[in-house]
Structure 1
Amino acid sequence: MSLSLAPDIRPARLEAADYAQRFADATPRLTRAQAVLEAERCLYCFDAPCATACPTHIDVPSFIKRIGDSNLRGAARAILEANPLGGMCARVCPTENLCEAVCVRNTQEGKPVAIGRLQRHAVDALMDSAQPQIFGRAPSTGKKIAVVGAGPAGLSCAHTLAKLGHNVVIFDAKPKAGGLNEYGLASYKTPDNFAQAEVQWLLGIGGIEFHHGWKLQTVVQLNALRQDFDALFLGMGLPNTHQLGVPGEGLYGVQDAVDFIATLRQAEDLSTLPVGRQVVVIGGGMTAVDAAVQAKLLGAQEVHMVYRRGPQAMSASKAEQEWAQINGVVIHHWLSPVEVMPNTFDPKYAGGVRFARQKMAGGKLVATGEVLVIEADMVLKAIGQTLGNALLAKADFDLQDGRIATDANGQTSQRGVWAGGDCRAGGLDLTVQAVQHGKLSAQAIHAQLSA
C-alpha cells in the first residue's frame, strides 16, 4: 500500500474455513497422561515460592499433587478456594512472570513446571463434570452488598460474599458480565465462550443478582447505593482510554484497540469484521499484542506494533512479545507518534503514521531528529486506559494517579466503601490481582458486618 493508494479496510480477507482454524485455542488442553507426567515434575516444595508469587496465593504444590493422584476435583477445589476465577487466570495469567518464574525447576533447569496449564486442566475437568458446584453458601446473614462492575474484581468479591451468606447485587454497564474477561482479551485465549461459562459457574453459588446497563455517573447514584446497601464495592475497571494527542487522530481507520478487541469478541461471524491491509498498533502492553495478533489473524498483510521505549520497558511479557512475532507482527521500539497522516487518495482516511525516533538521555526520552513513516490504512491505539470518573473527586474519595486510593484490604477513604481491580491505585493491572482485590475486600466487608 502507498499513501497515495485507496484505503483498503474490508471484511472477508480469508476463506470462510480459515477463521475457525486461525482463532482456535492458542494453548490446547493437556491430555490426562500429559498432565500426570507434568505433575510428577513438581518437587512439592515446602514454603513453595510459586504459591508466594501467586497474587491469590493458590497452594500450587497441593493442587499439583492431587492431579498426580488423579484427584482432579480436589485439585480444582484447592485452586478455586483461593481464586474463584482460576479457570480464566489459568488461560491469561502471565505465569512466566509469576509462579513459573520462581519455580525451582525453572531456577535449576530452566524449564518450570507448567503450572498454568495444570491449573487449567484441573478447573476445566471440574467445569465439564456433572456436578461442577463444589461450594455451598453459609447461612444467610440478611446483609446486602452492592458491587459496581462485573469484571474479575467484582465477580470475585460477589462470589466470596455470597459464600459467606450475604446477598449481592452487581451493577454493570455492559450487557454481559465478565468485564475484560468477556470484552478485552484475545478470543484465541478464551475460546468456546469460556468467560460466560465461568460467570455461570460463579452464579451457581446463589445469592447474586445482576443489573445490566447501569453505569455509575453521579454522586446521587453513589449516595443511593450507600444508603440502600450495607456495604459497597467499586470494581468498575478503567473505562476510558488515553488518546495520542497528535494531528490526524480523528481520521477514518483510527480506533482504540480495546474497541477493536471488544467488537471481535462479540462477533458471531469473524468474516464480517473489516481489517486493514496494513495495520499499525501503537502501544507495548498485552492489549497491543492481542490487537496486533488478531489483526494479523483476520488477514492483514502487514501488522506493525510500535512502542516508544525499549523492549525491557514493555508491559507485555516476553512470551507475549514472542507470540506476536511468531504470528507475523513486526515490533518496533524507540518510536513516538507525532502525526497520523492522511491518505492522499482520500484524505478522510488514515494513510500512515509519522514517528519520531527517541533515545534515553539524562534519564529522559528525547527525540534523535530521525523520523520514520509507517504506511497504514488502520491504526489501533493501545496506550493505556484511565478511570476518568469525575464523580469520585466530587464525592471526596482520596485518589492517587487518577485511581482510587485504598488500604491493603481495599477500604477507601469513604466509610463502607471498598474498591479493587484496575480502578484501585497501586495495582499491577492483572486479572489475577483483581481477583485477589475482590476476595480481600469481601473478607474485610464480612468482618466489618459481623462485628
Structure 2
Amino acid sequence: MSATPQTPGIVAHRLPPERIAENFADIAPPFTAHEALVAADRCYFCHDAPCVAACPTSIDVPLFIRQIQAGQPEAAARTIFEANILGGMCARVCPTETLCEQACVREAAEGRPVEIGRLQRHATDALMGRGGHPFHRAPPTGRRVAVVGAGPAGLACAHRLAMLGHEVVLMDARAKGGGLNEFGIAAYKTPEGFAQEELDWLLGIGGITVEYGRRLGRDVTLKALVEDFDAVFLGLGLGGVNALAVEGAERDGLRPAVDFIAELRQAADLAAIPVGRRVVVVGGGMTAVDAAVQSRLLGAEEVTIVYRRGREKMGASGHEQDHAASHGVRIVTGAVPVALRGEDGLAEVEVAYVAEGPEGLAETGESFVLRADQLFTAIGQRLGELPEGLATEGGKIRVEGAGRTSLPGVWAGGDCAAGGADLTVTAVAEGRDAAMDIHAALTKT
C-alpha cells in the first residue's frame, strides 16, 4: 500500500526547505568553457576509439571532443545529436563509468578517463541554449506512423521518422511525455525541468502530433492503429511492478520505489514529500539506489538497501553504489526480506541471509531484524497488459532485427522489448534504429 503523511513514522518536512534545495542541487554541474577545454585536451582522439564502440548509440566521441577543443561546442552538439537526439539527457543520466568512460584509453592507462559525459553535456547545452532546432525535415513522404509511448525509445523514433519526412502521431498514457526521463530518474540528476525542456526542443523538428492521455488497450487498440497507420512503433516501457511476496506485505508503509521517484519528480515542493525515519529499500538496481539516496536527502536518518545477491551482481554500477554509501546508505547483500511486522503500520523488517545453491538461492537459517517505518520495493518491473497478437520473450515483446515484432507493420523498442540493457541510451538507439527500418520498409529503400 502507498504510504501517506498520516502513516506513523512517515512525515513530511524532515528538513528545512533550504537544506532540501541544497541536497537536490545538480549532482554534476556543467563545465565552464575553460574547464571543457582542459578536459577535451586529455583526449587522445584514437582512430579506433573504444569509447565509440562502447556507446549504444555510437556517438563519434573523438570528433565531438575535437570540435570542443577547436572552440566549436555547437558543432560538437550536432555530431552528438546526429547519433543520439536525447544526447542532453544521456549526458546527465548515462552510466558513462561503465560505458564510454570505462572503455577510454586514459582509464586503462591512468585510472582516470576523459570526462566524456560532462563534455557531452557542455556541447549539448550550448546548442540547446541557443534555441531553434539543428535539423530540418525531408520532403513529406505522405506516410503516417503511430508511435505509442513518449519515453526515450518513442521520442527517438518519432524524431527520426519526422526528420525523414513522415507524419508522426505520438501517444502516451500520461498527461505529459518523457517516460523514464521525466518520471523515473533521481531529481538531482535532472533538475530544473530539463526533461520537459528537452522534449519541447525535440518536438521542434515539426511533423509530430502529440496526444497525451491515450493508453493502448483502453483508448485505442493495436488493431485499429495497424489499420489506420502505415506503421506502428511501440515504446511502452514497463508499466507494472513486481510485488513483494512476504508475510505482512499488505501493511501501510510499503510502496514501489518507482512511485516514490515519480512523486519526487513531479513535486513542486520536495520538502513536502513524506519519508520515513528508518527506510529499507529492497533491490539492487539504479531504481533502488535512487530511492535510497533521495530518502536520505529528504531527511531519513537510516536507509538500508537489501539485495539478494552479491554486490558484483547488483544492477547499479559501482559508481552508483559508492554514491549511495557516500550519502550514508547501508548496503546489505546476500539477504532477502521474509516478513514485515508492526502493530500500526510498519515497524520492522525481518531479513534472512541467503546463499547460492544447486536449486538457486536458499536461506541459510540466519536472520536479523531491521527497524523500519517505510519500505520501498525495487525488485523489477514488468510489461503491463500485452497487446493482442504479439509474441513475447522473457515477459517482454519479442523483436527481431531493428525492432520488428511478430505482427507485420509493428515495431517495438526500449524497455518493453526483449534484449538489450534497460538504459535510456539503449532505448534511444533502439528507437532510432527502428525508425530507420520503418523508413526503409515504407519507402522500399
TM-score over 0.5 for the alignment?
A: yes
Partner of 1:371: 367
* Equivalent residues in 2 for 1:62-211, closer than 5 Å: 62-129=63-130, 131-211=131-211
Partners of 2:405 and 2:362 lie apart in 1 by 38
**SS, match of residue 209 in structure 1:** strand
Partner of 2:46: 45
Partners of 1:177 and 1:218 lie apart in 2 by 18
2:382 to 381, 386, 399: 386
Partner of 2:62: 61
* Equivalent residues in 2 for 1:302-381, closer than 5 Å: 302-342=302-342, 344=343, 346=344, 349-362=345-358, 364-381=360-377
How many percent of aligned residue pairs carry the same amino acid? 55
Shift of 1:360: 1.9
CA contact (8 A) 1:152 1:431 kept: yes
CA contact (8 A) 2:307 2:336 kept: yes
- TM-score for the superposition, normalised by structure 2: 0.97
CA contact (8 A) 1:7 1:351 kept: no
Aligned pair count reads: 438
CA contact (8 A) 1:75 1:122 kept: yes
Shift of 1:214: 1.0
Partner of 1:410: 403
Paired AA for residue 240 in structure 1: G
Shift of 1:271: 1.6
- TM-score for the superposition, normalised by structure 1: 0.95
Partners of 1:142 and 1:165 lie apart in 2 by 8
CA contact (8 A) 2:214 2:220 kept: no
Relative distance call for 1:59 and 1:17 in structure 2 (3 A) is same
**SS, match of residue 195 in structure 1:** helix
**SS, match of residue 71 in structure 2:** coil
Paired AA for residue 119 in structure 1: Q
Partner of 2:278: 278
Shift of 1:363: 7.1
Partner of 1:228: 228
In structure 2, list runs of 5 or more residues that go unmatched. Answer: 1-6
Paired AA for residue 397 in structure 1: L
2:427 to 427, 434, 439: 434
Q: 1:420 aligned to 2:420?
A: no
**SS, match of residue 407 in structure 1:** coil
Partner of 1:3: none
**SS, match of residue 428 in structure 1:** coil
Partner of 2:3: none
In structure 1, list runs of 5 or more residues that go unmatched. Answer: 1-5
Paired AA for residue 116 in structure 1: G
Could you list the per-position Cα deviations for residues 257-310 of structure 1 after superposition, in whole angstroms to 9, with x for gaps in the alignment?
Answer: 000000011000112111100000000000000000001000011111110110
Partners of 2:437 and 2:393 lie apart in 1 by 22
Partner of 2:251: 251
Shift of 1:96: 0.8
Partner of 2:18: 17
Paired AA for residue 228 in structure 1: D
Shift of 1:219: 11
- Which moved further from structure 2: 214-223 or 303-312? 214-223
Partners of 2:384 and 2:183 lie apart in 1 by 19
Partners of 2:276 and 2:187 lie apart in 1 by 19
Where has structure 1 moved over 3 Å in runs of 4 or more? none
